[in-house]
Amino acid sequence: MDALTLVRQDHRKLEALLERCEQLDGDDGEERAVLLGQLRAALRHHLDQEEPILYTIYRERARRAGVDQAPLDRAIEQHRLVERLSRDLTEGEPDGDTLAARFTLLIEQVRTHLDTESSVLLTAVEDLIDDDTLQELGRRMEQRDQVMESRRELATVVPGGRRTRRMAAALGGVAALGAAVLAILARRRRPPPTSRRRRRG
């Protein structure tokens, strides 16, 4: 899948999670903790996919084309804000009302970010980056997911202390990366697809 399809899929998953968070009963602290863990993991995935891969290429293309980078800067600022709000929820031991208020604020800020990103930044990316590059970025994002998943799996099954698990996770990442490189090399042996640019309306 191309990068924009993957990002929009990710947005839909986050939206579904936000809806579950909003339907949460205020007295259920245990369920809130579970949902918060899921939301933090989903946000970490969202940031890790966009910033090092899609945002980096977009910034480079925007600079060369003389395109305003303010929407990208705003999206990154929103990422930092969401990260901070997410951290605030797990630091210290706030009372029930404070925790509920922080949780609500996080949900509102994530939704604001997703709406802004979808309506402004992703449209700008679509206008500036050609289909073939978006496909390649999508492959990179999927490969990054595979590497991270391999690390998580190894970290849970390898016995020993934290250091042993970290080494095993790193080796798992290297193995997954090697498999991804071989897949890319195999694809390059095939004739390249016809390159086309998106039509601009």
Residues 112, 179 within the same domain: no
Among 73, 107, 129, identify where a domain stops. Answer: 129
What does the pLDDT look like over 96-146, one tens digit per residue?
778 778 888 999 999 999 999 999 999 999 999 999 999 999 999 999 888
Among 76, 107, 129, identify where a domain stops. Answer: 129
Beta strands per DSSP E along the chain: none
Residues 93, 177 within the same domain: no
Residues 123, 157 within the same domain: no
Residues 140, 184 within the same domain: yes
Residues 177, 81 within the same domain: no
Residues 109, 183 within the same domain: no
Predicted confidence band at 17 (pLDDT cuts at 50, 70, 90)? Answer: very high
Using DSSP, state whether 136 is helix, strand or coil.
helix
Total count of domains within the chain: 2
Predicted confidence band at 93 (pLDDT cuts at 50, 70, 90)? Answer: low
pLDDT for 171 equals: 55
DSSP per-residue letters across 91-128:
SS---HHHHHHHHHHHHHHHHHHHHHIIIIIHHHHHHH
Among 101, 129, 157, identify where a domain stops. Answer: 129
Owning domain of residue 114: 1-129
Instruction: Characterise 136 by phi-psi region: left (phi > 0), alpha (psi -120 to 50), beta (else).
Output: alpha
Q: Which two three-digit tokens encode residue 96? A: 């029930």
Whether the Cβ atoms of residue 150 and residue 172 lie closer than 8 Å to each other: yes
End-to-end Cα separation, the chain, in angstroms: 23
Residues 16, 105 within the same domain: yes
Residues 46, 137 within the same domain: no
Residues 197, 160 within the same domain: yes
Is the confidence at residue 45, as pLDDT, over 60?
Answer: yes
Residues 156, 118 within the same domain: no
pLDDT for 199 equals: 45
Which range (24-28, 70-74, 139-143, 156-160) has the least confidence? 156-160
pLDDT for 174 equals: 57
Q: Is the pTM of this model over 0.85?
A: no
Predicted confidence band at 196 (pLDDT cuts at 50, 70, 90)? Answer: very low
From the list 121, 135, 142, 117, the residue with the least C-alpha distance to 197 is 135
Residues 9, 45 within the same domain: yes
Residues 109, 194 within the same domain: no
Is the confidence at residue 194, as pLDDT, over 60?
Answer: no
CA distance 189 to 201: 35
